[in-house]
């Protein structure tokens, strides 16, 4: 094992952990602009120069922190896996799992919205992530139609893109929704739209 590489990985992980804690502690009014890199580095136990060794800027650090959420989203979706569940049930479970996971990390999604709005590289990374989901979902839709489970309809890629745009807007609403917002009802409405769009029915 390369001890230097391991030490570097530990420093990078410490910076990301410090950023995650900072975003969580700062509350809904926090902004990337207000984050002090020197303070963040001290919290991670590294130098300020170490931060810029691993990340070009704060937006890039947020994008790196998002990577583990991308993995969680893939695991939650698992639409290209194989088990005994019907695909309709798996789609329903995946949507609920994705939103449930993000509901515990609204601080990170809020930072990501700011980062992708102001940083082209982060925006490109997010778009690439979305496109990877579009490809999988479009294949699912086409497969369900071929199997006779779902009716013919609009272009599968267009349908997949529209549904993922809906998810993106729903997550943005999660970040900014008032405390009394009926989140469960909203998620079930999103599930309804997904199933109706793919299967022409919801049950």
Extract the runs of DSSP E, i.e. beta strands, from 32-137: none
The answer to pTM > 0.85 is no
**What pLDDT is stored for residue 3 in this prediction?**
47
| Contact criterion met (CB below 8 Å) for 107 and 137 | no
pLDDT digit string (tens) for 38-56?
Answer: 999 999 999 999 999 999 9
**What pLDDT is stored for residue 39 in this prediction?**
92
Confidence of residue 67 (pLDDT cuts 50, 70, 90): confident
Cα–Cα distances (Å) from 48 to 37, 62, 196, in that order, read 7, 16, 51
What are the two backbone dihedrals, phi and then psi, of residue 84, each rounded to the nearest 5 degrees?
-90, -5
Helix, strand, coil tally for the chain in percent (to 5): 75, 0, 25
| Contact criterion met (CB below 8 Å) for 135 and 129 | no
Mean pLDDT of 153-158: 96
């Amino acid at each position: 094992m390369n001890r230097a590489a391991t030490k570097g990985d530990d420093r990078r992980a410490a910076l990301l952990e410090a950023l995650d804690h900072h975003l969580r502690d700062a509350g809904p009014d926090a902004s990337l602009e207000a984050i002090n890199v020197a303070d963040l580095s001290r919290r991670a136990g590294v130098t300020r120069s170490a931060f810029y060794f691993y990340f070009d800027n704060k937006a890039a650090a947020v994008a790196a922190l998002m990577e583990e959420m991308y993995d969680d989203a893939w695991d939650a979706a698992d639409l290209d896996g194989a088990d005994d569940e019907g695909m309709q049930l798996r789609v329903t479970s995946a949507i609920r799992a994705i939103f449930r996971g993000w509901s515990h990390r609204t601080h990170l999604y809020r930072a990501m919205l700011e980062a992708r709005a102001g940083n082209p590289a982060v925006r490109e990374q997010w778009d690439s992530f979305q496109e990877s989901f579009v490809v999988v979902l479009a294949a699912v839709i086409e497969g369900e139609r071929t199997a006779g489970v779902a009716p013919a309809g609009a272009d599968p890629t267009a349908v997949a893109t529209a549904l993922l745009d809906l998810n993106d807007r729903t997550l943005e609403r999660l970040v900014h929704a008032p405390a009394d917002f009926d989140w469960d009802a909203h998620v079930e409405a999103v599930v309804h739209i997904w199933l109706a769009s793919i299967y022409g029915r919801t049950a």
